[in-house]
Structure 1
Amino acid sequence: MTMVKTSLTDDARKATGTVLQEALVDLIDLHLLAKQAHWNLTGRNFRSIHLQLDEVVDLAREHADEVAERAAAIGVNPDGRARTVAEHSKLHQLETGDLPDDKVVAAVTDMLADVSRRFRDHIETTEDTDPVTQDLLIAAAQDIDKQHWMFAVQR
């Protein structure tokens, strides 16, 4: 990538870029895991959870794109390749096969809680390095927290 001129110092750009890359991996894997659950969901609450999983997929995709574009805007190459996500994801992976609705609710609740915790750390890190990125992460955290709440009340 051609070096983008930015008002961030090199140290701030590097620290912010690291945060953005970690957030990107979380969002891409969250999207993939929510889709996996969506496709393999079974149980009495199939329809409502099936549709709710699509909401998680949509928010993860939207915020992943914003995070990646922010990285590019500050001169950091975003890496959303499958291998990178697989090597760096911190999310607990779902089992294969049919996934009962109660187990999906529990797993997705836990995933969203994990991502939310990491986003709070990212928000804290970017407070001094890049308030613009911090604002983007706050918006993503708000959507993640809402979905966490909506899944958690179903436990």
Structure 2
Amino acid sequence: WLLRVSAPAEEGSYECLGLPPIASNEPILGLIWEQIAILHNGSFDDRSDAAASLVSLVRDNDRNGKLIIEEGGVGPLLKLLKEGKKEGQENAAKAIGLLGRDAESVEVMIHAGVCSVFAKILKEGPMKVQAVVAWAVSELVS
């Protein structure tokens, strides 16, 4: 359902076709699912925009962060951080830093492999991305 809902209608354009009944109690789920699907299937630019959207959602509300983690958003954010362009890497690192607001969320991210991804970026990544990752590390340990 998720991949069908957020499949590109045309090249570079994503269109939401509707929400299942489960999302009627949590309407923000539809937006979260769409952004996570774009992180899985979009171009690097689309994935960067999706990560930026998730940053906005997490900044607005701690509950949104929990939903992003529960719905599997950490893995594709880490993949973007590893493989994306610089802007996408920065957005993914910001999202991961904001998602680490409690011990349970940090534990999920550790099990998803955040430590090795952060270590690689801090060792080899562009300086600007390293700065955002350093901030994200400080958020995860606080």
Q: TM-score, normalised by structure 1?
A: 0.29
Higher RCO (CA-CA < 8 Å; seq separation 6+): 1
Higher radius of gyration, 1 or 2: 1
